[in-house]
Homo-oligomer: A and B are copies of this chain.
Amino acid sequence: MPSLPPGYSIRRTQPRDFENVVDTLRILTTVGDISREQFEDIVTYWNSTTINFHGKQIHAYHPRVILDGSGRVIATGTVFLERKIIHEGGLVGHVEDIAVAKDQQGKQLGLILIQHLTALAHEHGCYKVILDCDEKNVGFYEKCGYRRAGVEMDHRL
């Protein structure tokens, strides 16, 4: 399993990570206008929403950032846990919004982040972890230990 470059670290996203997380996410998709206050509200929501699972209070959202040696956020991603009736009242992890800064490509940070989020979800009791991706990224996710499971469909107004 690959490991982070020396000096790099990974931790839960905090409300103070506004600029770097938003800038990193712009690589991935449309972020649009989001204020510092909105960002702080969302991260505070993520960090305070819990699920009671087999008598333990666990976080529903597990947003993570990777920091370089200078403490700058250079990658971000989230896994959130869905509470189901099926599979004996099981949990499913949903990996979302993975982005790595352009100048940090080639260090396997995407792979490390996916493996970290996947392990987190399983440690919290998920019977499976899922994600949706473009056809062109299937090979990357197979390297992360995922396999093709179905078709993602969407509905937009």
> Is the beta-carbon distance between A97 and B84 smaller than 8 angstroms?
yes
Q: How far is the CA of A82 from the CA of B127 in the complex (A)?
A: 20
Q: Which of A30, A31, A133, A152 has the most CB of B within 10 A?
A: A152
> Is the beta-carbon distance between B135 and A31 smaller than 8 angstroms?
no
Q: How far is the CA of A122 from the CA of B156 in the complex (A)?
A: 9
> Is the beta-carbon distance between A132 and B152 smaller than 8 angstroms?
yes
Told that A39-B85, A127-B156, A144-B155 touch, could you supply 20 new A-B pairs with CB distance under 8 A?
A: A25-B86, A32-B87, A33-B88, A34-B89, A38-B88, A38-B89, A42-B83, A42-B85, A45-B52, A80-B82, A82-B96, A127-B157, A130-B153, A130-B155, A131-B152, A132-B149, A132-B150, A134-B150, A138-B153, A152-B152
Interface, chain A (partner B; CB < 8 A): 21-22, 25, 28-34, 38-39, 41-42, 45-46, 49, 51-52, 60-61, 80, 82-89, 94, 96-97, 118, 122, 127-135, 138, 141-142, 144-157
